[in-house]
Amino acid sequence: MSEAKSLAAANKRVANILKKSAADSSVEINVELLSEDAEKKLYESLSGLSPAVEALFDAGDYEAALTRLSSLRDPVDAFFDSVLVMADDESVKNNRMALLSSMNQLFLRAADLSRLHQ
């Protein structure tokens, strides 16, 4: 499934960015700082999916949760294609890191998907 490969690759990229960054992981996402269309779309997609995916994880339905998460493929790809995560503005950078961290935490509910991509 190409969505799974794409998500594993994206999750690995996110994990690497978060690992290399000194950004504060406790920073909340500030919607007002989302300026690029691709980051707004990723935030909206993630926010819309999170409650349903969390419920599926809680119920132990990992396959359905991962299937739902696969719908993030296009917003994630667009985000990485057009958004500079390490922006010069520290607050914008930290906000983008918070967005990636939020997505990463959701994926980690199932498994460390970054380990699936070779």
Q: What domain count does the chain have?
A: 1
- Cα gap 27→1, rounded to integer Å: 34
Domain that holds residue 8: 2-115
C-alpha distances out from residue 41 to 22, 36, 38, 85, 111, Å: 25, 9, 5, 15, 24
Q: Residue 35: which CATH number?
A: 1.10.730
Instruction: Note the pLDDT tens digit of each residue in 38-62.
Output: 999 999 999 999 999 999 999 999 8
Residue 79's SS3 state is: helix
pTM of the model: 0.84
Instruction: Note the pLDDT tens digit of each residue in 1-45.
Output: 566 677 777 778 888 888 887 656 667 899 999 999 999 999 999
Closest by CA to 96, choosing from 24, 10, 48, 45, is 24
- Cα gap 25→21, rounded to integer Å: 10
